[in-house]
Amino acid sequence: KKEAVPCGNIGNNISARCGNILTTEKSAQSGRRPFQLRPKAKTFSTRGQPAWGGAPHQRLNAEYLSFCRWLVGMTDGDGCFSIVLQNGKYNLNFSIAQGKYNLRILYYIKKILGVGSVNMHKTIGVYRIRDRRKLAEIIFPIFDQYPCLTSKQFHYERFRQAHRILEDPKLLTEHKYSICEQLRSATLPETYVNPVWTANMAIDIDWLTGFIEAEGSFFLYNRDGKQRISIAFGLTQKLDRPLLEVIRRRLHIPTQIIERPHFYRLETTHSRAVLGISQLFQGRFKGMKSLELKLWSRAVYYKKDREKLEQIRSILQRLHGKMIDKGIVRSI
């Protein structure tokens, strides 16, 4: 029997030391140099990336750090830190899940990190790392420098603590398992506030790209039963309303956050905000979200051509169900 810490719905939400992801005016003026990760640069592809200044190792280091911030955003959306009880033993499992159509992004993560595995579970693909040594060498340096911005930070801190307990040679196995069970059973307090949250915060574009790649939605619909097709961007979260508010300001979305009994929704059809979002994320997404954005951006361009909009909407609606003929996309 296998049990794990709950991390939310696997389809939607599989669910101060923030480095460059989250900054304040005060920290921006401090002049302190952030801790530098040492990447396995040889696994990083620079194809399609901007030309960075400086020596080759400096370029690769900058690109790897950008990837790390993107990965944290992706994990905030679709990642999970699990303390797993299996066959009477406690294990750790870091995972990111995506739909079958977006397996490419999981293999991209595996390629850059150089560790982990990708497995299929029906229509869901899961990238995971279980090796505690690899977690310590690769995953912890990333999330220690760039903490999660959602309430997933609560789960990461207990995940990290469980690793320290399991690796402590001075503790008896029974004592280790007793502490791990307490950590595994801990639930998110209703009043929990992520410790990285401060006033006057700004979100890094790499983190935001990863988070929207996991959670964002680009779509077209007929508003209020009218014939005119609206071009919309949306983002839904069960928790973390303050984070949605910061994203709303970052994307210059004039509409307010919609509050429902069990979730918060940020959505806009505002033409200027839609155009800004289209331009901001061009060339940034790593997986199938790049194709979604490409189609959605064409809808922005053809916003007065109903026939084109109908065609684009049809493709976007089918995209998650099956692969789309690239010839159809190029014809729009």
CATH 3.30.70.3280 fits 2-185, yes or no: no
Backbone angles phi, psi at 99, to 5 degrees: -65, 160
State percent of the chain over pLDDT 90: 66
Backbone angles phi, psi at 220, to 5 degrees: -125, 145
Instruction: Output the pLDDT for position 140.
Output: 98
Instruction: Output the pLDDT for position 59.
Output: 65
- Please write the tens of the pLDDT for every residue from 26-62: 343 444 333 344 444 334 443 333 333 345 556 678 9
Radius of gyration of the chain (CA): 21
Options 3.20.20.150, 3.10.28.10, 3.30.565.10, 3.40.30.10; CATH for 216-331 is 3.10.28.10
Higher pLDDT, 88 or 21: 88
Residue 116 and residue 127 in contact, taking contact as beta carbons nearer than 8 Å: yes
- Please write the tens of the pLDDT for every residue from 152-181: 999 999 999 999 999 999 999 999 999 999
Question: 5 Cβ partners below 8 Å, 6+ apart?
Answer: 81, 82, 83, 155, 158, 184, 186
Rounded CA-CA distance 233/251 in Å is: 11
Instruction: Output the pLDDT for position 122.
Output: 86
Instruction: Output the pLDDT for position 58.
Output: 61
- Please write the tens of the pLDDT for every residue from 204-220: 999 999 999 999 999 99
Instruction: Output the pLDDT for position 28.
Output: 39
Instruction: Output the pLDDT for position 57.
Output: 59
How high does pLDDT run on average in the chain?
83
Rounded CA-CA distance 93/163 in Å is: 10
The stretches of 36-151 forming alpha helices (DSSP H) are 56-78, 103-113, 132-134, 140-145
Is 261 a residue whose pLDDT tops 50? yes
Residue ranges per domain, the chain?
2-185, 216-331
- Could you tell me which of 126, 188, 108 has the C-alpha nearest to residue 156? 188
